[in-house]
Amino acid sequence: MVYLPNLNTMVTAILWVVNLTLGYCPDDLLSEVFTCLHNLTYGSGDSMLITGADADRMQRHCRHGDLDDSVDCLNKIYSQCTSPRDFERLRKFADPDAWRSGFQRFCSNTDFYVERRTCVTKLDKELEKCIKRHEDFTLQSTEKMASYSHDQIEERENHRIEQICRFFHGANQCLNSDIGSKCGPEISAILSDFAGGIMPPVCRGFTFDTSSASQIELSSLGFIFIFALLIFHKCLV
């Protein structure tokens, strides 16, 4: 593969200047936040399993600065969304400093993650079953947001964020119970720490009734975000 770093840098700079000049804040902020993690799948729709290959891939992301690119992408969205209303919406979904800290802590432990990859790989099916016990989820494509009013967009975002928070809390319980008990608390802490970094701030104090199952409606980009650690299915529809 031939790389043209100078051309790529120039195009990136042009796009950044154009977007900044326009001052455009996307209506669907939640999906835009997810987009900043899309580079972690190399732009493909392939699932990212917790496997040896995934461990090596995450190690490469750390070495090549891909995680820093995700933070830069998020900061760009913040630079575009300067009105108080947009800023309040955006900061519910993602915190650049939390992303950066979580990524840095994870990258400082990638060697240990690679060493334990065999144990983690063996738990793929168990983790999948655990997550399904917590949430009865279905995949649906994200609808176009262009025709929605601001109030409708926020109402829909609140519904989606509740679903995502439910899933994050369920997945975190699975990480702690399954991986922690069988692969050691250290590797569980590493993965949970990574997940905690990208968890939407609004989810940190989130409470909900766990007695009833819920239908999880997530966009394909939403799955890339949530399953940065543990995706078990192809998510692009």
Lowest mean pLDDT among 8-12, 36-40, 87-91, 185-189: 8-12
More confident residue, 121 or 200: 200
More confident residue, 226 or 166: 166
Lowest mean pLDDT among 36-45, 81-90, 153-162, 205-214: 205-214
Task: Specify if 47 maps to a domain.
Answer: yes
Tokens of 88: 């309040």
Q: State pTM to two decimals.
A: 0.67
The pLDDT assigned to 76 comes to 93
How does pLDDT run across 28-69, given as a tens digit for each residue?
Answer: 787 788 788 776 655 444 444 344 456 777 788 888 888 899
Task: Specify if 114 maps to a domain.
Answer: yes
Task: Specify if 234 maps to a domain.
Answer: no
Angstrom CA distances, 28 to 92, 124, 214, 222, stand at 13, 32, 23, 12
Total domains, the chain: 1
Task: Specify if 214 maps to a domain.
Answer: no
Task: Specify if 155 maps to a domain.
Answer: yes
Cβ atoms of 157 and 29 within 8 Å: the answer is yes
Helical pair 66-80 and 84-93, crossing angle rounded to 10 deg: 150
Place of tokens 């008990």: 181
User: How much of the chain is in helix, strand and coil states, percent to nearest 5?
Assistant: 70, 0, 30
Domain of residue 80 covers: 24-203
Task: Specify if 133 maps to a domain.
Answer: yes
Task: Specify if 122 maps to a domain.
Answer: yes
Task: Specify if 48 maps to a domain.
Answer: yes
